[in-house]
């Protein structure tokens, strides 16, 4: 989308006056000398690099580890805005968990005809192996990162639900630590809700879903694919801040239906696995036989109720892009309430009518792969060239059922430090939600920012950066 279109500026109103939550920050920004933020940005980069807060970009040769650009201007959300958001998120994650329990048991929602049965049962993300199994507390998706965008004062849309293995929470934590080092004075003049309790909350959540919650101490582990994974830093960070072991598949084995880790002494039984590897790689005996990352026999131990896997296998069906369009129905079906947060209207290209509309309006809309992620394989009509659109049209016509389309949303923009000074750049927001004995939503989240002028792509793999996100307290 070009900048001539109207978008919601989170800091300044139509008269270029700061909105209330940004009042102090706007004044502070005005008072600072021109090169102040440049210097602070450099300080931040040094901190990140030394701490090794990096991510890997697949397919780039020259370096396997990169920094995500960090923007030193915080994004601010008022207390009342946050109450609205968190109520909506709470409602949504409860409904999605109820949906998962239902489709792996009685499938009431399919019988009621609210979702086409094929869309669920023929979906790659639906795991028949999970049918009839009930995880502890009936929770399937314990860790969710809800992607939101804002288009006006009170209008937020959910873009994606991320119910598999959402990442980025370590950036939420480290961005805050860095901001506190860089601008202590700003924290004195604002009442910013803390995010530092996240690891503690994560640990409580994981403990609450252990197979035998009455045990006096639970052995929790974080399962990582290893140091070459793009999110390895985060895996280590989470294990470290919870004080639990960071394991790879080869550190675990299954014996007599229980999962153990190989220690320097006797094997130690594991109760809960926070896995950061995909379903397909969990257990070579049940899923992908070529997986070197998983643990043979893990799934059987899980179904026997001897270990909890978080998130549960098969949660991907709840954030499938084809299912997404039905989430408002899912919410109504299981909660009996109207959705608090909006869903983006979605055209399903497998439907001929929808496809025809999408092909007629490629210049105006966003087209995404059903199973894609990370901003790859998508078309943003308003910013694409004629050639890109023509090429995408061919791909879409060949395999329409692989795509969905949505109107281009006018993403809100936040003040961002750029070469020319401070300018609005488009942002999204991913708050982190934990579901166990209760639903815990950390006030804040990860704000991703499209650093290029006019760009709507916030993915770090596509040149996006991050910001610290401040939820103000009343």
Interface with other proteins (CB under 8 A) = 49-52, 226-227, 232-233, 236-237, 239-240, 245-248, 250-251, 261-265
Return the number of other C-beta atoms located less than 10 Å from residue 242's C-beta: 22
Question: How near is the Cβ of 243 to other proteins at its closest, in Å?
Answer: 9
Give 115-168 as a DSSP string: S-HHHHHT-TT--GGGTT---GGG-S--EEE-EEEEEETTEEEEEE---S----
* Rounded Cα distance, 151 and 55, in Å: 29
Asked whether 274 and 282 are in contact (CB, 8 A), the reply is no
**Is the CB of 133 or the CB of 253 nearer to other proteins?**
253
| Partners of residue 449 on adjacent β-strands | 427, 465
- Please report how close the Cβ of residue 265 comes to other proteins at its closest, in angstroms: 6
- 434 forms beta bridges with 143, 440
Distances (CA, A) of 109 to 17, 120, 298, 326, 332: 48, 10, 30, 11, 11
Cβ proximity to other proteins: between 46 and 361 the closer is: 46
Nearer of residues 64 and 123 to other proteins, judged by Cβ: 64
- Distance between CA atoms of 223 and 453, rounded to whole angstroms? 38
CB of 244 to other proteins, least distance (A): 8
Which residues, in sequence order, are bridge partners of residue 271? none
DSSP lists the bridge partners of residue 465 as 449
Between 251 and 388, CB nearer to other proteins: 251
CB of 54 to other proteins, least distance (A): 10
Question: Closest separation between CB of residue 250 and other proteins, Å?
Answer: 6
Cβ closest to other proteins, residue 251 vs residue 332: 251
- Name the minimum Å distance from CB 209 to other proteins: 22
Shortest distance (Å) from residue 245 CB to other proteins: 6
Closer of 222 and 405 to other proteins (Cβ): 222
Nearer to other proteins, 122 or 264 (CB): 264
Q: How far apart are CA 351 and CA 359, in angstroms?
A: 12
């Amino acid at each position: 989308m070009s900048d001539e279109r109207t978008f919601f500026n989170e800091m300044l109103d139509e008269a270029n006056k700061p909105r209330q939550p940004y009042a102090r920050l706007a004044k502070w920004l005005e008072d600072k000398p021109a090169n102040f933020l440049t210097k602070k940005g450099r300080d931040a980069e040094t901190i990140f690099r030394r701490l090794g807060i990096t991510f890997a970009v697949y397919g780039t040769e020259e370096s396997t580890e990169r920094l995500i650009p960090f923007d030193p201007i915080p994004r601010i959300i008022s207390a009342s805005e946050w109450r609205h958001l968190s109520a909506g998120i709470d409602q949504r994650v409860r409904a999605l968990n109820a949906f998962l329990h239902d489709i792996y048991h009685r499938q009431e929602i399919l019988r009621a005809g609210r979702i086409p049965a094929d869309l669920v049962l023929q979906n790659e993300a639906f795991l028949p192996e999970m049918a009839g199994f009930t995880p502890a507390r009936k929770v399937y998706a314990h860790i969710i990162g809800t992607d939101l965008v804002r288009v006006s004062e009170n209008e937020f849309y959910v873009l994606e639900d991320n119910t598999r293995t959402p990442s980025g929470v370590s950036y939420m934590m480290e961005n805050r630590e860095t901001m506190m080092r860089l601008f202590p004075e700003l924290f004195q003049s604002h009442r910013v809700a803390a995010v530092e309790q996240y690891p503690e909350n994560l640990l409580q959540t994981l403990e609450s879903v252990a197979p035998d919650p009455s045990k006096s101490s639970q052995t929790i582990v974080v399962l990582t694919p290893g140091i070459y994974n793009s999110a390895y830093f985060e895996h280590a960070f989470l294990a470290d801040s919870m004080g639990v072991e960071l394991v790879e598949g080869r550190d675990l084995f299954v014996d007599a239906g229980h999962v153990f880790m190989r220690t320097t002494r006797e094997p130690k039984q594991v109760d809960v696995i926070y896995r950061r590897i995909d379903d397909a790689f969990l257990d070579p005996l049940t899923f992908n036989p070529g997986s070197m990352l998983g643990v043979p026999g893990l799934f059987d131990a899980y179904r026997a109720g001897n270990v909890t896997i978080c998130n549960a296998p098969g949660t991907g069906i709840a954030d499938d892009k084809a299912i997404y369009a039905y989430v408002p129905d899912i919410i109504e079906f299981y909660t009996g309430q109207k959705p608090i947060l909006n869903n983006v209207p979605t055209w399903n290209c497998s439907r001929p009518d929808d496809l025809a509309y999408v092909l007629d309006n490629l210049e105006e809309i966003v087209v995404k792969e059903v199973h894609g992620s990370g901003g790859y394989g998508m078309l943003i009509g308003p910013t694409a060239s004629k050639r890109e659109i023509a090429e995408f049209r061919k791909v879409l016509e060949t395999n329409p059922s692989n795509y969905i389309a949505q109107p281009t949303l006018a993403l809100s923009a936040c003040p961002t430090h750029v070469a020319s000074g401070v300018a609005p750049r488009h942002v999204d927001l991913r708050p982190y939600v934990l579901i166990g004995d209760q639903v815990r939503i950390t006030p804040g989240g990860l704000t991703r920012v499209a650093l290029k002028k006019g760009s709507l792509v916030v993915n770090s793999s596509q040149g996006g950066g991050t910001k610290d996100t401040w939820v103000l307290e009343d």
